[in-house]
Structure 1
Amino acid sequence: MHDGTGWERTEPPAPVRIVHLGLGAFARAHLLWYTQGANEVSGAEQWGVAAFTGRSAAAAEALARQDGRYTLLFRSPEGDAPTTIDALVAVHDGADADAWREYFRRREVGVVTLTVTEAGYRRTSTGELDRHDPDVASDVERLRGGSPAVTAPGRLVDGLRARRAAGSGPIAVVSCDNLPDNGRVARRVTLDLASALDESLARWIEEQVSFVSTMVDRITPATTEADRAIVRKLTGREDRSPVVTEPFSEWVLDGAFPAGRPRWELAGAQLVDDLAPYEHRKLWLLNAGHSLLAYEGLARGLSTVAEAFADPGCRADLERLWAEASGVLPMAVGDALADLRARFANARIEHRLDQIARDGSQKLPVRVLAVAQARAAAGLPVGRAGAGVIAAWITHLDAVDVATSDPGAVALATRLPGRGSAARARLALAALAPSLARSDVYARHVAEVLAVRQPTLTGARP
């Protein structure tokens, strides 16, 4: 129910044809923006979104008072530009299992989308569902008894079970989370949990449900009270749930939609048959660049991507890193790099380095070391610029509470103190990528950078 402060809809909302799990800022800056754009140019073919919160009901409560409508504020170097998003037509507490199941029973609902973060898939280090996770184990028992699930895989299985029982036909599950091959990831954990519950349900999912992989890209910083004040000034309305984002956005999708989909391509999305080159381009240019700026920038006392990008030393290292990655990307990257330079220079988007620096042990293998592997496979030198990022990360571990900032590196961090550069490099690479091609050469490059940055180490040993 709206709150009577100008958020009332002047036209009937679009029919719910998409169900979304994870009502965070990124989904509202990306998925909902693309869906709104498709609706605006598709005439009678309208797709409304019913969204469920992942954890707290607070986001749903605030948006419900605005009929699901909110302001998306595009923040460029030139200024702020607001637009109203109408594609979100229903919002629910994630714990509302009855509403969740009811949407899945509707034949006209053809797409389920997810933004639950990488941790939300509840995987082991080898990719399967972590059945030892207490919440996963609890979900199996909950679903057997008809109770609501609490994990994302559990909720998917709960909804798909309701759809099968209703005979509502096929459906597509689309992950919009920032992890490689995310559709395959969603499929694996969903089938793993369904198999633990009911093998016949797992077979139905294999036959009737497609899992679409996507590459998503749009920086969306946390909204502040100052942002809300700007929205109030620009729109004349009190918005409890505005979202701030950069002008740039990219969405590339690979997969089938057996029950239809919005015409997202009319809003700029790309539908492709092979997502891997696009994922590699993002990981090796954008994400690897972010990691470099984070570790080198923090060491220089800087706080944001824009500050680090403006630093001559960071910028030179970044350009060298991009050159190494460009040599093994199967596409032209000139336009992508031009976009990245403009995005990184946008000081009005406060993308904080301390946030980017978290969980480097999980990020660096796919962002940086994968480039070294690709270069080795192509018969090229493994690359010194990438080795510099690894060295910067090793140094970063000395300056933070590793248990909080990078839990995956705790065991490594206990072995690093007091060792020389060569030993630190070898230990780090063994932890990050034990099968790294030409690891001896790469370790030497890492050690050389460490030796320059830490020329003296009390009690060091080779």
Structure 2
Amino acid sequence: MTGRIHRTAAGLGPAAPVRAVHLGLGGFHRSHQAWYTAGDPEWGIAAYTFRNTELPRALTEQQGVYTLLVAGEEAEVVGSLSRAHAGADRESWLADLASPDVAVLTLTVTEAAYAVPEPGQDSAVQRVVAGLRARHRSGGAPITVVPCDNVPDNGAVLRSVLRSATRDDRRFAAWVEEQVSVVSTVVDRITPAPTDEDVAAALRATGLRDEAPVRTEPFTEWLLAGDFPAGRPAWERRGARFVPDVGVYQQRKLWFLNGAHSLLAYAGLARGHTTIREAVDDDALAGTVQQWWDTAARHIALDPAEVAEYCRRLRDRFAAPGIRHQLRQIATDGSQKIPARWLPVLRAERAAGRLPGAVVTGLAAWLLHLRGGEVRDPRAAELVESAGSVRRALLALDEEVGADDELVSAVEAELHRT
């Protein structure tokens, strides 16, 4: 009988001491931050989910070990997870954040989570604040929080949210301001939702049964700007870059990668496609994406040759075999994603007196998605109810966009052509 993967079977040593905590345990964390941390064997991660119980159970049975299936390359067994916890394990969460041995807290909690929680709400920010309160009460050792979600200026946004969420306690708020460093980041690695085939592929690659493998692409990027007063893993061993400011790189990724992803997701679903690779193989959609990239390139402060090379690499990544990046997965939380991915370029184009066709196509496809059911968005009920009217839907997305008569008319015309 095939054995279950674990540390001894995989040829790994004992789990490292927990010096980092992660919130948002899932595929992307394990293909990205956990993979980078595996380059420094002195750092172990205690990772927490929200409501999922099966994934932490499977990882616990495997002693935190899992298989990373890199498309077109050999599989790698990753052992940086020292512990995996379900979201209900509040006692361990508080104890880990209170521990002076823990120096870093990383987050992958989706764009929608970067908001001040309502009283009594069980949100990512509420959990972070509860953990920081436990740390403050236990002696207040410094810590660095590293948000890894596609939010523009994610470090500054999270800092602002923490200020709002802690202002009812002056002493605690002052400690957060002085002892909690918040780093800004850009993260990138396409990591599709898991499938049953991944389990079979992990077995073929390692000879061991893995109930929690992750499939990803060869490309990966991590840029960080900020301070680590209590130390950090040597993430640079696997290529992480520490830069003074991530701003222009954030724009590059949000507009060119994420913006194209959203465009392919909504327009691809409207044309009957299911994955990024299927969508980019559609000549009409490939042309729309190129039009989007040409438009965005007019407004980014990077060398045109660097932008052209980045787009070439994106085309290769989108078309790569072995990665089934589901369009419905990308289409989630559109009300949070679209304002960061499309609207800055749209505003710059409108200020120049132009109406960007790729954005018109994307907004029309987004409206079709809202009208088609199965909408996963924190504002789904409101958006679906407004989707019958282009004006109302665009006003719900952004008041300035919804008030633009020429844009509204163009989206209406695009819908009639669809």
Cα distance in 2 for partners of 1:448, 1:118 equals 31
Cα distance in 1 for partners of 2:130, 2:384 equals 41
Ranges of 4+ aligned residues in structure 1 off by more than 6 Å: none
- Selected match of 1:329 from 296, 300, 307: 300
Match runs of 1:249-398 below 5 Å? 249-331=220-302, 332-377=306-351, 379=352, 381-398=354-371
- 1:224, CA displacement in angstroms? 1.9
The match for 1:126 is: none
The match for 1:139 is: none
Shift of the 408–99 alpha-carbon distance from structure 1 to 2, 3 Å rule, reads closer
- Selected match of 1:431 from 384, 396, 417: 396
Shift of the 412–114 alpha-carbon distance from structure 1 to 2, 3 Å rule, reads closer
Is the 8 Å Cα contact of residues 429 and 439 (structure 1) preserved in structure 2? no
Structure 1: any 5+ residue segments left out of the alignment?
Answer: 41-45, 124-128, 137-149, 418-423, 454-462
Cα distance in 1 for partners of 2:269, 2:281 equals 13
Is the 8 Å Cα contact of residues 284 and 368 (structure 1) preserved in structure 2? yes
- 1:319, CA displacement in angstroms? 0.6
Cα distance in 2 for partners of 1:117, 1:415 equals 24
Is the 8 Å Cα contact of residues 373 and 437 (structure 1) preserved in structure 2? no
Is the 8 Å Cα contact of residues 7 and 13 (structure 2) preserved in structure 1? no
Cα distance in 2 for partners of 1:272, 1:224 equals 36
- Selected match of 2:136 from 137, 145, 164: 164
- Selected match of 1:98 from 91, 95, 105: 91
The match for 1:140 is: none
The match for 1:7 is: 7
Is the 8 Å Cα contact of residues 146 and 183 (structure 2) preserved in structure 1? yes
- 1:443, CA displacement in angstroms? 3.2
The match for 1:209 is: 180
- Selected match of 1:130 from 117, 123, 126: 117
Tell whether 2:42 aligns with 1:49. Answer: no
Shift of the 340–261 alpha-carbon distance from structure 1 to 2, 3 Å rule, reads same
Aligned to 1:328, what secondary structure does the other structure show?
A: coil
Shift of the 103–416 alpha-carbon distance from structure 1 to 2, 3 Å rule, reads closer
Q: Deviations over 1:192-241 (max 9, x none)?
A: 33334x32111111111011121221121122222111111110111121
Q: Larger deviation: 315-324 or 12-21?
A: 12-21
- 1:339, CA displacement in angstroms? 1.5
Tell whether 2:160 aligns with 1:155. Answer: no
Cα distance in 1 for partners of 2:377, 2:123 equals 23
Cα distance in 1 for partners of 2:127, 2:392 equals 40
Shift of the 272–439 alpha-carbon distance from structure 1 to 2, 3 Å rule, reads farther
Q: TM-score, normalised by structure 2?
A: 0.89
- 1:261, CA displacement in angstroms? 1.2
The match for 2:18 is: 16
Is the 8 Å Cα contact of residues 307 and 347 (structure 1) preserved in structure 2? no
Q: Larger deviation: 167-176 or 389-398?
A: 389-398
Q: Deviations over 1:314-342 (max 9, x none)?
A: 11111111100111111131221111101
Aligned to 1:333, what secondary structure does the other structure show?
A: helix
Q: Deviations over 1:87-127 (max 9, x none)?
A: 11222333333333333333332111112223444x2xxxx
- 1:251, CA displacement in angstroms? 1.3
Alignment-mate amino acid for residue 49 of structure 1:
I
Tell whether 2:45 aligns with 1:71. Answer: no
Q: Deviations over 1:173-204 (max 9, x none)?
A: 111123222223333333333334x3211111
Cα distance in 1 for partners of 2:124, 2:416 equals 45
Alignment-mate amino acid for residue 111 of structure 1:
V
Cα distance in 2 for partners of 1:384, 1:366 equals 18
Aligned to 1:81, what secondary structure does the other structure show?
A: coil
Between the aligned residues of both structures, percent identity stands at: 44
Shift of the 392–108 alpha-carbon distance from structure 1 to 2, 3 Å rule, reads same
- 1:350, CA displacement in angstroms? 0.9
Shift of the 392–162 alpha-carbon distance from structure 1 to 2, 3 Å rule, reads closer
Aligned to 2:395, what secondary structure does the other structure show?
A: helix
Shift of the 280–15 alpha-carbon distance from structure 1 to 2, 3 Å rule, reads same
Cα distance in 2 for partners of 1:433, 1:98 equals 40
The match for 1:186 is: 158
- 1:436, CA displacement in angstroms? 4.0
- 1:352, CA displacement in angstroms? 1.5
Shift of the 286–159 alpha-carbon distance from structure 1 to 2, 3 Å rule, reads same
Aligned to 2:227, what secondary structure does the other structure show?
A: coil
Alignment-mate amino acid for residue 317 of structure 1:
T
Match runs of 1:385-424 below 5 Å? 385-398=358-371, 400-401=372-373, 404-406=375-377, 408=379, 410-411=381-382, 413-414=384-385, 417=388, 424=389
Aligned to 2:354, what secondary structure does the other structure show?
A: coil
Q: Larger deviation: 5-14 or 152-161?
A: 5-14
- Selected match of 1:107 from 74, 97, 100: 100
- 1:267, CA displacement in angstroms? 1.3
Q: Deviations over 1:158-184 (max 9, x none)?
A: 322232233252110111123222223
The match for 1:31 is: 33
- 1:305, CA displacement in angstroms? 0.9
Cα distance in 1 for partners of 2:338, 2:49 equals 30
